[in-house]
């Protein structure tokens, strides 16, 4: 078995025992990446940096200085700023941008000896659910039906495809409305969106600042715990970063959830839900019940308002955040005609630099923030957001330890199937995921089975604020019970 197919936990143990070197492990991944170009997962390869970091990791390992990620080859989503390496957020407006600084997340990972293989594809500015809104073209799901190419989900589609195809041992992702959990479900991997404020957003290109949260995408729950341990922690450079102690996430994976109360929200059984998805969810409930958990039906009454609330708040914040891309300080600047002034430069730069989905969301956001509509849309959405958060608070106050729910309405769909249709159809992909972001809660995606087409499907567990340790243990139990070991047939 090639080393690139290992889990982070297995590779960590082998590195510490000196059964493999970090350089050899990295080379195995670099070879897989070159062979996986058809997936379009890596958009900036960094083999020289990777090998330099691997050699440094080997030196640390030889000296007995081995943090959990020391020598582990990772992919970094293009939304994270990496010093001296293109960091474009998959947008032409940031073409040629190489930061002079390192994001807090990547700085922490590299400080723990992790190896950067390169930057990963994504939806432009993390706005999308299929990775088709990327200036690099779409990433492709390694799972395939006949000759149809499938989406790996979005916005962290490149991260999901790379992990599922064993191009790297793990990858960073970000989740603003489901962008870690949905791609994880579509590709049969694990992904956790931590509590808002658990992981620093400093150096992460902003989409919607009150919703964005970085997290790991991995092959197993244990890997997610190891990875999150390195990413998490207070950062004084991020005003929304919480000064809360980070527990030992891996040590929390006891596999014992006897007596824990798992909530099943009735509002997530939406009209038109497929019998296949209902059966998958019911099976997940049975697995947790068999493990000794108490299953409790709960109500989250404002769930039905989550999607419209999200698609007011997120575009509003995006229109504010993306106003900085004006062609003046960095990134793309349009060629101007004689007589053009600064207004024409702004207009042409943004028209050329932003893709259609980003432009759509900026226009929606600007509209809902405008003087005549602020109270009717944005202010009202903020009030509904508070009600959605209160629903969860009441459930947890009643003793619920975690909540089990679907992640996606279906398995992965074909590239082009929804992106060319009504954009609302694509937005409906987020129906089960946006509630967590609005409430700031942690959520973890776990693969639990294959559908009738042979494609992976997952379930999500939603946890109490700051209880990623307990949430990961619940996910670990579900993972062990489901026994999901299927891998895509290699066609690329």
Catalytic residue IDs: 77, 155, 179
DSSP helix, strand, coil percent of the chain (3-state; round to 5): 40, 15, 45
* Both structure tokens of 487: 């891998």
Tell me if 122 sits within 8 A of 159, measured CB to CB. yes
Q: Which residues contact 17 (CB under 8 A, 6 or more apart)?
A: none
Instruction: Provide the 3-class DSSP secondary structure of residue 268.
Output: helix
Task: Return d(Cα 224, Cα 156) in angstroms, integer.
Answer: 15
Task: Return d(Cα 13, Cα 19) in angstroms, integer.
Answer: 9
Give the distance, in angstroms, between the CA of residue 415 and the centroid of all CA atoms in the same chain.
Answer: 19
Tell me if 470 sits within 8 A of 257, measured CB to CB. no
Pairing mode of beta strands 443-450, 190-193: antiparallel
Provide the 10 A C-beta neighbour count for residue 119. 26
3-state secondary structure 19-69: CCCHHHHHHHHHHHHHHCHHHCCEEEECHHHHHHHHHHHHHHHHCCCCCCC
Q: What are phi and psi of 46, to 5 degrees?
A: -130, 60
Instruction: Provide the 3-class DSSP secondary structure of residue 405.
Output: strand
Q: How far is CA 353 from CA 90, 308, 347, in A?
A: 11, 27, 10
């Amino acid at each position: 078995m090639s080393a690139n197919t290992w889990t982070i936990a297995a590779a960590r143990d082998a590195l510490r025992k000196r059964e493999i070197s970090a350089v050899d492990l990295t080379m195995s991944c670099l070879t897989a990446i070159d062979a996986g170009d058809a997936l379009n997962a890596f958009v900036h390869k960094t083999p020289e940096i990777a090998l330099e970091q691997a050699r440094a990791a080997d030196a640390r390992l030889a000296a007995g200085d081995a943090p959990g990620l020391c020598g582990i080859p990772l992919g970094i989503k293009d939304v994270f700023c990496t010093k001296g390496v293109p960091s474009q957020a998959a947008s032409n407006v940031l073409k040629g941008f190489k930061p002079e600084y390192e994001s807090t997340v990547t700085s922490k990972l590299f400080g723990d000896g992790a190896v950067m293989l390169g930057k990963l594809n994504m939806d432009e500015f993390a706005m999308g659910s299929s990775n088709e809104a990327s200036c690099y073209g779409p990433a492709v799901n390694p799972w395939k039906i006949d000759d149809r190419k499938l989406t790996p989900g979005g916005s962290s589609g490149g991260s999901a495809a790379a992990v599922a195809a064993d191009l790297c041992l793990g990858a960073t992702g970000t989740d603003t409305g489901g962008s870690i959990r949905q791609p994880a479900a579509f590709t049969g991997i694990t992904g956790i969106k931590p509590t808002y404020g658990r992981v620093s957003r400093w150096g992460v290109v902003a989409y919607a600042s009150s919703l964005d949260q970085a997290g790991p995408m991995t092959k197993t729950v244990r890997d997610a715990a190891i990875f999150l341990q390195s990413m998490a922690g207070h950062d004084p450079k991020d005003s929304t970063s919480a000064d809360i102690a980070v527990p030992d996430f891996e040590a929390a994976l006891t596999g014992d959830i006897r007596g824990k109360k798992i909530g099943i929200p009735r509002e997530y059984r939406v009209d038109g839900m497929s019998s296949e998805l209902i059966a998958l969810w019911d099976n997940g409930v049975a697995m947790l019940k068999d493990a000794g958990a108490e299953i409790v039906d709960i109500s989250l009454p404002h769930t039905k308002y989550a999607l419209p609330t999200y698609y007011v708040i997120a575009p509003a914040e995006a229109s504010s955040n993306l106003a900085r891309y004006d062609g003046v300080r960095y990134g793309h600047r349009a060629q101007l005609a004689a007589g053009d002034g600064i207004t024409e430069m702004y207009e042409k730069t943004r028209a050329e630099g932003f893709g259609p989905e980003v432009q759509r969301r900026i226009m929606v956001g600007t509209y809902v923030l405008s003087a005549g509509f602020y109270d009717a849309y944005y202010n009202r959405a903020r009030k509904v957001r508070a009600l959605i958060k209160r629903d969860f608070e009441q459930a947890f106050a009643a003793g619920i330890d975690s909540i089990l729910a679907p992640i996606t309405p279906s398995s992965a769909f074909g590239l082009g199937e929804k992106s060319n249709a009504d954009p609302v159809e694509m937005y409906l992909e987020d129906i089960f995921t946006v509630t967590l972001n609005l409430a700031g809660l942690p959520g973890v995606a776990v693969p639990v089975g294959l559908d009738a087409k042979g494609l992976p499907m997952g379930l999500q567990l939603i946890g109490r604020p700051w209880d990623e340790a307990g949430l990961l243990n619940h996910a670990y139990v579900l993972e062990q019970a489901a026994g999901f070991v299927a891998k895509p047939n290699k066609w690329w």
